[in-house]
Amino acid sequence: MSFASRLWKAVDKKNTPAMVGLDSRLDHLPEPFASRAQDGPVEAAAALVDYHRALIDILAEHIAVIKPQSAFFELLGPHGWQACGDAIAYAKDRGLIVLLDAKRGDIGSTSKAYAQALLGGGFEHAFPASDALTLNPYLGDDAAEPFLKIAKEQQAGLFFLVKTSNPGASLFQNHGSPPLAEIVAKQVHRWGEETRNDAGWSDIGAVVGATRPEELARFRKLMPHTPLLLPGFGFQGGTADGLSAAFDKKGHGALVNSSRGILWAYKREDLFHLATWEARTEAAVIEMKEQLASVTRVQQ
């Protein structure tokens, strides 16, 4: 089954396009994991393993996709990378789709090695394969080609950065006429045309920030068959307002990501009536699903 087909089937099963990013900072873990993380990289990585397993158990009941951010694992060296692999494998065992947020992008044999490592399981399956990967497209088509080839072989997804949610994105991405981001969007659409499933959706996706809903309709027009990853929901200021342009009448078309809004929910005073970090996290996930239900129309 193609990546897009698997993705929308999973979204339909959970009745939400909500996605949670595993951007787990050691100084913002709930207890008892935060204390354990202060005892060096080995124990910090072990704390991440235990925390993410508990977190994934909560998420698997409500959402279809998680997005581990590789930087917070790489920070801990080889032990952190092992913790990342554990999170990927555990999430897949729980039936979740894993979109690894590594934003890779290079040329030739380096691109091929990245793609084999992160989408193909590495050398003799040394690392669990993710279902999809974020990529930086700005090195051009020769850099993208190895990723496109291996993604096709693995029936995996790719999400190219098109218009990001950070405040400085406009410095380069708005440059020129048409803006550079629109040129990238048109190329992402072309890359994806050969991978479209029976419903018309491509396996090749694009990252477009949820903090700029006024741009969504334009990028949807440029990429009509492209799954969109919409980061920035919640903590970065993105809301459900204006996101409907990304979705079709079946509620397909985009994944809406929240990271800190879910991971840091245990600190919310309005949730202090719930006794545990697990209960507060689950409440935040349910809240996000409710906020998105009206714009995605997945309940119709």
Q: Which amino acid, residue 255? A: L
In this prediction, residue 209 carries a pLDDT of 87
pLDDT tens, 156-171? Answer: 999 999 999 888 988 9
In this prediction, residue 294 carries a pLDDT of 80
Angle CA 267–234–254, to nearest 5: 135
Are 159 and 134 spatial neighbours (Cβ–Cβ below 8 Å)?
yes
Q: Read off the pLDDT band of 238 (50, 70, 90).
A: low
In this prediction, residue 234 carries a pLDDT of 59
Q: What is the CATH number of the domain that holds 173?
A: 3.20.20.70
Q: pLDDT above 70 covers what percent of the chain?
A: 96
Q: Which helix (H) or strand (E) holds 67?
A: strand 65-68
pLDDT tens, 183-218? Answer: 999 999 999 999 999 889 999 999 998 777 778 999
Residue 92, classified by CB atoms within 10 Å of its CB into exposed (0-12), middle (13-18) or buried (19+), is middle
Q: What mean pLDDT comes out for the span 115-134?
A: 94
Q: What mean pLDDT comes out for the span 247-252?
A: 92
Is residue 295 predicted with pLDDT exceeding 60?
A: yes
Q: What mean pLDDT comes out for the span 44-72?
A: 98
Q: Read off the pLDDT band of 40 (50, 70, 90).
A: very high
Q: What mean pLDDT comes out for the span 86-115?
A: 96
User: What's the domain range around 131?
Assistant: 3-296
Q: What mean pLDDT comes out for the span 133-141?
A: 95
Which are the catalytic amino acids?
A: 103
Q: Read off the pLDDT band of 299 (50, 70, 90).
A: very low
Average pLDDT score over the chain: 93
Give dist(CA 247, CA 59) in Å, integer: 22
In this prediction, residue 214 carries a pLDDT of 79
- Angstrom CA distances, 126 to 78, 80, 86, 116, 117, stand at 13, 15, 12, 10, 8
From 11, 23, 199, select the one nearest 96 (Cα to Cα): 11
Q: Read off the pLDDT band of 300 (50, 70, 90).
A: very low
Give dist(CA 10, CA 3) in Å, integer: 11
Q: Read off the pLDDT band of 279 (50, 70, 90).
A: very high
Q: What is the DSSP string of 2-59?
A: -HHHHHHHHHHHHT--EEEEE---GGGPPTTHHHHTTS-HHHHHHHHHHHHHHHHHHH
**274-282 contacts: CB < 8 A, separation 24 or more?**
277/30, 277/31, 278/54, 278/58, 281/55, 281/58, 282/58, 282/61, 282/62
Q: What mean pLDDT comes out for the span 256-261?
A: 94
Domain count, the chain: 1
φ and ψ at residue 66, rounded to 5 degrees? -120, 160
Q: Give first-to-last CA distance, the chain, whole Å.
A: 25
